[in-house]
Amino acid sequence: MTADSGDAPTVLSELREKAGTRLDPVHRDFFEGGADAEIALAENERAFRRLALLPRILRGSGPADTAVTLLGDRAALPVFVSPTAFQRLAHPDGELATARATAAAGTVLITSMASTTAVAEVTAAARAVRADAAVWFQLYLQPSPEVTDALVRRAERAGCGALVVTADSPVFGHRARDDRNGFHDLPAGFAAENMRDLPGAPQGGTLDIAMSPGLSWDDLRRLRAATRLPIVLKGVLHPDDARRAADEGVAALLVSNHGGRQLDAAPATVEALPAVVAAVGDRLPVLLDGGVRSGSDVVIALALGATAVGVGRPVLWGLAAEGEAGVARVLEQLRAEVAHVLTLCGARDSGDLTRDQVVVRGLGVAEC
């Protein structure tokens, strides 16, 4: 036994291991991998481990309440599902399994534009479980406004409650594992289903997802004018961009480095969070994803001012290991851990947490 390792197995790490035995190694690399030297990927997790929670005592807080409200949607836990592409490569039920498990857990699903199941099927699967299940649509703004508009109409018709615009991908990140494996396209029998029958797509086929360094705030403004759906901006790390986004009328921000898959020199998201919260936390909800692997990670982010946090890979581990039941296990484990950690911190809910409760390990109790 190594009392000081901090690497004792957890439900999530066991699901990760099981997923590793079930996945095609090429697809496992796609799901697990990051950009370049995978520094940002590793740092997202490590940065949480460098932080500690200072509990408060004797507050009579009673049982924890993990529920939060996200853009008017009630989430039973302050953890949502971040968008991840190509889920049918993880499990035959793919996005449908994730949608059912997320709806059953009572939280928000952000479904990827690059999903292997059409968004209307994803929302239908979620709503079959819970009539008011919240599904938001992740969107890469396309260089062609007609294509973007068609995707937006598709998400609106499917009943999505928000558009999550990913802004950290002016170009696709360099993924060394995928390069080594020659993995650059979906295998035969799978398609990015939301890209079917769009303007310019081949008859009955799909359009490639484009990433464009030409996109600007003008494109975001154009999108806002073209939809009534609230817009969440994903991939915000700089406080000035956070202020600009708030000025542009964005409904929420998602502090994210794309799970370390885009700019490898990007900071760990929990390290970027405090400056973004300081810049705009009094104006709009600030969300975070990247490296969240435990209830303690969630509570640290909440104490630093996040309204809720997203998980990407943990959901893929659950999905690949055990399908819908595995995703359900991941979300239930995180809910239970958040409740437990809140209670241990003397907090009934996230509103009871304060920033001074997060300290840097090894520096005494100086605030981070």
Ligand X SMILES: CCCCCCC(=O)C(=O)O
Please list the active-site residues.
258
Does 234 engage in binding with ligand FMN (CB under 6 A)? Answer: yes
Instruction: Please report, as a single letter, which amino acid is at residue 157.
Output: R
3-state percent breakdown (helix, strand, coil) of the chain, nearest 5: 45, 15, 45
Q: What are phi and psi of 83, to 5 degrees?
A: -70, 130
**Residue of the chain from 107, 138, 142, 307 that contacts ligand FMN (CB under 6 A):** 138
Structure tokens given for 173? 């990140």
Does 215 engage in binding with ligand FMN (CB under 6 A)? Answer: no
Phi-psi region of 364 (alpha: psi -120 to 50; beta: other; left: phi over 0): left
**Residue of the chain from 66, 116, 194, 256 that contacts ligand FMN (CB under 6 A):** 256
Coil, strand or helix at 3:
coil
Separation of alpha carbons 225 and 221, rounded Å: 6
**Residue of the chain from 96, 114, 133, 304 that contacts ligand FMN (CB under 6 A):** 114
Q: Which does 335 bind (CB under 5 to 8 A by kind): ligand X, ligand FMN, none?
A: none
Scanning residues 164 to 203, which ones bind ligand X (CB under 6 A)? 172
Report the residue number whose CB is nearest to ligand FMN: 312
Residue 284 CA to its chain's centroid (Å):
18
Binding span for ligand FMN by CB under 6 A among 15-23, 143-151, 170-178, 311-319: 311-319
Element holding 311 (H helix, E strand): strand 308-311
Scanning residues 14 to 33, which ones bind ligand FMN (CB under 6 A)? 30-31
As measured in angstroms, the least distance from the Cβ of 185 to ligand X is 9
Does 290 engage in binding with ligand FMN (CB under 6 A)? Answer: yes
Closest of 6, 88, 17, 100 to residue 49, by C-alpha: 6
Would you say the C-alpha torsion 166, 358, 47, 334 has a positive or negative sign?
Answer: negative
Scanning residues 54 to 113, which ones bind ligand FMN (CB under 6 A)? 82-85, 112
The residues of the shown chain that bind ligand X, judged by CB under 6 A, are 85, 114, 172, 209, 258, 261
Residues in contact with ligand FMN by CB under 6 A are 30-31, 44, 82-85, 112, 114, 138, 166, 234, 256, 258-259, 261, 289-292, 311-313
